[in-house]
Amino acid sequence: MVKPDFQNDLKKCIETLIQGGLILYPTDTVWGIGCDATNSSAVKKIFDLKKRADSKSLIVLVAEERDILKCVTQLDLHVFDYLRTVQKPTTVIYEGAIGLADNVMNANGTVAIRVVKEIFCKQLIKQFLRPIVSTSANVSNSTTPQNFAEISAQIKQGVDYIVQYRQEEKTKHQPSSVIQFNKDGTIKMLRD
């Protein structure tokens, strides 16, 4: 298998993230607008670009299951057993968020986190050494783009770096499922 060449994209993304900038990048679901999930000023830029109410929380991406331990204080390890049974990328709402920008978290202290499987995202997060925000690459209340070609010029012009990797891909992608893993072990499906 030929290893994809996205080293330049990784370098540029990391430089942008360190400077508090926004990136437009492919994920294991739809293309996302991303920033350092620990930088509240960068997170505010995403809300402004998307024209999104800052009362809405954002999804945070991590590279490995163990990275979640750095982001939450209340973790039921059974959630990982459940995640191994699902095919579709799944975002989980966790209680007790820590170590993240306040404006990434929900007002009730929860945070939405997804462990990514996509090779570019995984490498980006591992090299950046911090979780990153991922929110669909559209203005709020407009249709979520299913591939790069569907992303509006407004969004493309509003970010600081656009990843070149996977831009030509025509496959239509869907957002992740979103679940809440309750204290009693039950699961509440918030988005299928």
Q: Are 116 and 29 in contact (CB under 8 A)?
A: no
Give the 3-state secondary structure of residue 56: coil
In a domain, 2, yes or no: no
User: How many Å from the N-terminal Cα to the C-terminal Cα in the chain?
Assistant: 32
In a domain, 1, yes or no: no
Range(s) of the domain holding residue 162: 7-191
DSSP for residue 29? S
In a domain, 128, yes or no: yes
In a domain, 143, yes or no: yes
Count: domains in the chain = 1
pLDDT digits (tens, 9 = 90+) for 77-114: 889 999 999 999 999 999 999 999 999 999 888 999 99
Bridge partners of 179?
A: 92, 189
Residue showing tokens 């990797």: 165
- Compute the distance between CA of residue 106 and CA of residue 100 in angstroms, rounded to an integer: 11
pLDDT band at 158 (very low <50, low <70, confident <90, very high): very high
- Compute the distance between CA of residue 177 and CA of residue 36 in angstroms, rounded to an integer: 22
Q: What is the pLDDT of residue 77?
A: 87
In a domain, 146, yes or no: yes
- Compute the distance between CA of residue 83 and CA of residue 80 in angstroms, rounded to an integer: 5
pLDDT of 57 strictly over 90? no
pLDDT digits (tens, 9 = 90+) for 22-56: 999 999 999 999 999 999 999 999 999 999 887 78
- Compute the distance between CA of residue 94 and CA of residue 109 in angstroms, rounded to an integer: 9
Q: What is the pLDDT of residue 3?
A: 57
Residue showing tokens 């991303």: 34
Q: Are 21 and 36 in contact (CB under 8 A)?
A: no
The CATH number assigned to the domain holding 69 equals 3.90.870.10
Let me know the angle formed at the C-alpha of 156 by 37 and 101, rounded to the nearest 5 degrees: 10
CA 38 to chain centre: 13
- Compute the distance between CA of residue 133 and CA of residue 71 in angstroms, rounded to an integer: 13
